[in-house]
Structure 1
């Protein structure tokens, strides 16, 4: 006689964030398809769209209280595709194809590898406050933004930018953690200024705006400027540890 098995349903609060994470992965997969067809600009914009989903899944998980170990693992897997493999292939297809034999392919692979190492380190070493090393979404968007802006760069220059970005991801250079910001601890005047600045960037630079914006963030770590601390009203730098990297 078979025993009745009671299957425990997955809470709705955990399903929604994971569905949003799936949007991140979908954008990454579609970006790879675009690269295969030689459409590098749409592929880069899909990486930009993946950043939106990556930001929203963590925000939704925190607001619904639906964070989980499963969600964290799914988020990391999606990030490897959308911000490691896809940007690496975009750079290879748009700039490094045929560069010094297989060197271009190795550069793209090195970027994806460093992105995966960055995520693995983040998952096992939670450090309060700033991110240690350039977050992979920022790194992926940065290198993909060159194709998005349709910049014509020599292969050697793009290879150096890609390798440098990859090294920043696995470095210990501190980068501002905007996800520690909460309602009530945000400087509204500074948020308004930053939002206006971003809007002006898109109006004036258009397709080059994402590159200009993310370049400021990449440079901020090297200059030891913490955007999270700058926007926060809290003096204490010990922020809550985040379980989804944005």
Structure 2
């Protein structure tokens, strides 16, 4: 007689992060459907909502101790759709479709670079700044162009897709706050950033996301380290004391 092995139930701490990641993928799928019905504005907002799920799944996984290789791969698949395919399709349908094959290739290049960026991130784990523009930032930048209502020439839209895609697969360092703990941050600088963002929303309204994302993209090109700048001046001393 063959013995049937009883299936082990996955604990909630393993399931919860993947449920949140599903929200990320759901946003991407709904965004594509909205684009099919000619609604690029709501589709662009869904890219921003997907960022919330992308941020929360990792946070919940770390807090519950439920991180897994499956979750890492699932998160990357969701990111390819929400931050790669959807923003590329937004730019294509809104601006670059009149370029014909050239527009298709430009949008496809962005999505391809996003997938390559995620694959490299999953394989090569390096401490410190991100190597290349993170795909959520690239997707948010393209989506924010549409939200701001910028009247782009089709060639300019194709250039944005190509340039942003190239930045994602480049080695340009971009600031990461993953290594910055709450007690190590400079509250005054965080408050200053919050005030600047609030002022930009008040003054620029729909153009605020584009301004914020443009600043982040330029910060990498000029070598600005957000983690170092937002850290307390005595953070390095605290770390050195803990290592003694």
Q: TM-score range by the shorter chain?
A: over 0.9
Give the match for residue 242 of structure 2: none
* Alignment of structure 1 residues 27-38 onto 2, 5 Å: 27-38=27-38
More helix by share: 2
Could you tell me how far apart the structure 2 residues matched to 1:81 and 1:196 are? Answer: 32
What's the offset of the Cα at 1:19? 1.1
Q: Give 3-state SS (helix, strand or coil) of 2:203's partner.
A: helix
Give the match for residue 19 of structure 1: 19
Could you tell me how far apart the structure 1 residues matched to 2:236 and 2:134 are? Answer: 23
Give the match for residue 203 of structure 1: 202
Q: Give 3-state SS (helix, strand or coil) of 2:5's partner.
A: coil
Instruction: Identify unmatched segments of 5+ residues in structure 1.
Output: 239-246
Q: Give 3-state SS (helix, strand or coil) of 2:236's partner.
A: coil
How many aligned residue pairs are there?
236
Could you tell me how far apart the structure 1 residues matched to 2:187 and 2:176 are? Answer: 17
Give the match for residue 93 of structure 2: 93
Q: Check conservation: 1:95, 1:154, Cα contact below 8 A.
A: yes
What's the offset of the Cα at 1:69? 0.6
Structure with greater Cα Rg:
2
Could you tell me how far apart the structure 2 residues matched to 1:231 and 1:12 are? Answer: 35
Q: Give 3-state SS (helix, strand or coil) of 1:177's partner.
A: coil
Could you tell me how far apart the structure 1 residues matched to 2:106 and 2:31 are? Answer: 19
Which digits, 9 at most, give the CA deviation of each residue in 1:175-232, with x for residues without a partner? 0012222221111111111122222222222211111111111111001001122112
TM-score, normalised by the number of residues in structure 1: 0.92
**Larger RCO: 1 or 2 (CA < 8 Å, sep 6+):** 1
Could you tell me how far apart the structure 1 residues matched to 2:46 and 2:89 are? Answer: 13
Could you tell me how far apart the structure 1 residues matched to 2:181 and 2:21 are? Answer: 21
Could you tell me how far apart the structure 1 residues matched to 2:143 and 2:23 are? Answer: 18
Give the match for residue 40 of structure 2: 40
Change (3 A) 1:232 1:11: farther
Q: Check conservation: 1:41, 1:150, Cα contact below 8 A.
A: no
Two-structure CA RMSD over aligned residues (Å): 1.4
Instruction: Identify unmatched segments of 5+ residues in structure 2.
Output: 240-244
Which digits, 9 at most, give the CA deviation of each residue in 1:46-85, with x for residues without a partner? 1011111111111111122221111100100000000000
**Mean Cα displacement is larger for which, 227-236 or 203-212?**
227-236
What's the offset of the Cα at 1:235? 3.1
Give the match for residue 170 of structure 1: 169
**Mean Cα displacement is larger for which, 107-116 or 204-213?**
204-213
What's the offset of the Cα at 1:128? 0.8
Q: Check conservation: 1:96, 1:159, Cα contact below 8 A.
A: yes
